[in-house]
Amino acid sequence: MAPSLENAAFHASAAADLARTLLRSGIVSPEGGLKPALANPVLLARYRFTTTRELEQGARSCPDRIALIDDHGTLSYQQLRNHSRTFAQYLQRTHGNGVRLGIMCRNGRAPIIALGAKGYTDTTVFMLNIGSSAQQLRATMEENHINVLVIDSEFAPRVPTDYPTPVDVIIGHHAGPTDHLTLEKIANSARQYRDEKLPLIPNLGKVVLMSSGTTGTPKGIVRDEPKIPYILTSAMERMPWRANQRVLLTASIFHTWGWGCLNVALGARNTIITHRVFDPEQSLEDLQRYAIDGMISSPVMYKQMVAADPRRQYNTSTLKFIASSGHALDPELVRTTNERFGEILHNFYGSTEISLAAVASNEDLAKDPTVAGRIASGTRIKILDEHHNEVPTGEIGEIYLRNGMTMTGYTRPGMEVEYVDGMVSIGDYGYLDAGGLLHVCGRVDDMIIVGGENVHPQSVSSVLEALPGIKEVHAGGVSDEQSFERIAVWVVRTNDAAGKALDAHTIQDFVRERLADHSIPRDVHFLDKLPRNATGKVVPRLL
């Protein structure tokens, strides 16, 4: 089949999958009429599948429905849309076209309003990691020519005072009085900007998501926003995520996972509950208080929720699904989560560069808690060897993917995307089984060679998660005089008898009984806590 015909057939199949999913999820009526998510195709043509379009459509189809419950209160779809539109009018009047908008905010209305404003004008948005230092923030601003910055007041001291060009600093969240202009003040001045005409068909700018910056200045990863939301298929077909539900968003909006799910939730006209700072007991209270249907989270967060409620005092019976991403799952975490909440855990696998790659349903995880999932709709995948040849089914290789949300480039000059047959490496080793399910073995950069054997540190971490006395564990490679590299582990003990009794020999023996000798950790380090960044990932350079 010719490549053009193959491509057309591929997208036609994905479109059919999307239509069936929207029908089942309650977003499309059986008669073929479009319900909230896609009720106005003109808006989809103007704004694509963006925060802007979902706020516009929500304001038209269900204006009084609560869109957001955050630390400041509630906002309806109409209110959230109006605040975003007013901010867009402010940006256009004050800065004209070509705004380069940085957003450095915790979860809440501020980042959503800023993202909503983006689609009305010729604005490129940079989702800045809240863990960035003052030096990293300055370098990112200079590298990307950011001229407007929406930032929470707690991070404002990191803004450079001697920046070479003018930057319009606007405070998103502020705990007390501030001399800066705030999003709240702009929203309260809507009459001042209401005559500002916004483009009928805006020239949509890019969305730039930043890497974690664990090894230096975060690099900007450029994305187009999708014309057709194929991602809805995999997000809503494989779990009971439906229209007009209540969802708890604990994943960070500045990260790919939180940003993507925000748009899906708005597209389903959900009510989103979120807080600036994650607290496990607060999240459990939210599940009970708001009778929440779904939770969008990361393993480190719902693991803390399970630990915070050993007596199961909170009623979480309304919870129908947990959508998890951001970290690899291990069998012990799947088991304890399913014991606490029921078999409702679903795993989303992807990356900042690729977005969603695979989804494991609750049934998939119940059968095999290590599986990454079935390949997402609209996604091409190949498992390649070191010479970029496709490997047989069941054989481990490097994972290459492409879909409508794959990065289009880097913002950093000189950095080029490396394509193989039009696909991009996700940076992991893995394999496809006979049933088409993807299994991930670990990061390409993390794999070490011990005595000629490939060892994935993640396999050691997964085994140790089941050892009584371990609260958290991280495994990584360290240099070794005999074998060049060996595994080391960093462990946080539980605060009980098992934790107090835990020592290095117990950990090494536990691994020895379950894995090959080259996987036994040479070094065992005990810490009070693991150093994590704002998204919950362990920062190896701080170990």
Helices 331-341 and 299-308: crossing angle, nearest 10°? 50
Task: Quick: pLDDT tens for 164-186.
Answer: 889 999 999 998 888 889 999 99
Is 437 among the domain residues? no
- Residue 478's identity, in one-letter code, is V
The model's pLDDT over 357-414, given as tens digits with 9 standing for 90+, comes to 899 999 999 899 989 999 988 888 999 999 999 999 999 999 999 887 788 888 888 8
- Tell me the pLDDT of the chain averaged across its residues: 86
The total number of structural domains in the chain stands at: 2
The two tokens of residue 187 are 């929203």
* Residue 479 domain flag: yes
Q: Is a pLDDT exceeding 80 seen at residue 194?
A: yes
In this prediction, residue 188 has a pLDDT band, given cuts at 50, 70 and 90, of very high
Question: What secondary structure, in 3-state letters, does 422-480 show?
Answer: CEEEEEEEEEECCCCEEEEEEECCCCEEECCEEECHHHHHHHHCCCCCEEEEEEEEEEE
**Which stretches of 286-339 are assigned E, i.e. beta strand?**
294-297, 321-324
CATH number of domain containing 166 = 3.40.50.980
Model confidence, pTM:
0.81
Measuring CA to CA, which residue among 38, 40, 33 is closest to residue 15? 38
Tell me the pLDDT band of 203, cut-offs 50, 70 and 90.
confident
The answer to whether residue 184 sits within a structural domain is yes
Read off the CATH number of the domain in which 465 is found.
3.30.300.30
Q: Confirm whether 318 is domain-assigned.
A: no
Q: Are 95 and 89 in contact (CB under 8 A)?
A: no
Separation of alpha carbons 330 and 300, rounded Å? 11
pLDDT tens for 272-292 read: 999 999 999 999 999 999 999
Residue 429 lies in a domain: no
Domain end among 228, 251, 283: 228
Question: Per-residue confidence at 51, pLDDT binned at 50, 70, 90?
Answer: very high
- Whether 509 maps to a domain, the answer reads yes
Domain boundary among 228, 253, 287: 228
> Percent of the chain, pLDDT > 70?
89
Estimate to the nearest angstrom the gap between the alpha carbon of 377 and the chain centroid.
18
| Residue-range definition of the domain harbouring residue 500 | 448-542
Structural domain includes residue 484 = yes
Longest dimension (CA), the chain: 73
The answer, yes or no, to whether residue 115 has pLDDT greater than 60, is yes
Other beta carbons less than 10 A from residue 237's beta carbon: 19
Q: What's the one-letter identity of residue 219? A: K
Q: Choose the final residue of a domain: 201, 228, 255.
A: 228
pLDDT at 38: 46
Of the candidate ranges 2-16, 201-215, 335-349, the one whose mean pLDDT is the lowest: 2-16
375 in any annotated domain = no
- Pairwise CA distance, residues 380 & 370, whole Å: 22
